[in-house]
């Protein structure tokens, strides 16, 4: 995905999903039940890779809805889907969601 440049990134051709959706059907790993494998929100594939995170300040025009910073962790799966794990901050609250470009929705 491209570098985030404006609120069009958030409000453009995307779908949103809850953070638990990327853990649905995930297998516990490494004998630690508190760890879960991250799954693709489009196809459920389990081989996902992170790309460099982006930290956007409240001064950036991200359009996510809150008035605080936004941390975006871009993900790319071996399934070829690209999506983002997002953490948004607003007045002491933290919101987590998944952002999926619409052209990749199944």
Q: CB atoms < 10 A from the CB of 71, how many?
A: 16
In a domain, 53, yes or no: yes
Mean pLDDT, residues 77-105: 88
pLDDT at 84: 93
Which pTM does this prediction carry?
0.80
Q: Which domain holds residue 12?
A: 8-104
In a domain, 46, yes or no: yes
In a domain, 47, yes or no: yes
* β-bridge partners, 36: 28
Tokens matching residue 54: 């982006």
In a domain, 3, yes or no: no
Mean pLDDT, residues 7-19: 69
């Amino acid at each position: 995905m491209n570098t985030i440049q404006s609120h069009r990134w958030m409000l453009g051709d995307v779908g949103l999903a809850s953070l638990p959706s990327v853990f649905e059907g995930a297998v516990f790993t490494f004998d630690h039940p508190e760890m879960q494998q991250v799954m693709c929100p489009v196809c459920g594939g389990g081989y996902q890779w992170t790309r460099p995170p982006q930290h956007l300040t409240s001064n950036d025009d991200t359009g996510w809805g809150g008035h605080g910073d936004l941390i975006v962790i871009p993900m790319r799966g071996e399934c070829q889907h690209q999506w983002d794990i997002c953490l948004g901050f607003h007045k002491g609250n933290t919101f987590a969601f998944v952002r999926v470009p619409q052209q990749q929705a199944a």
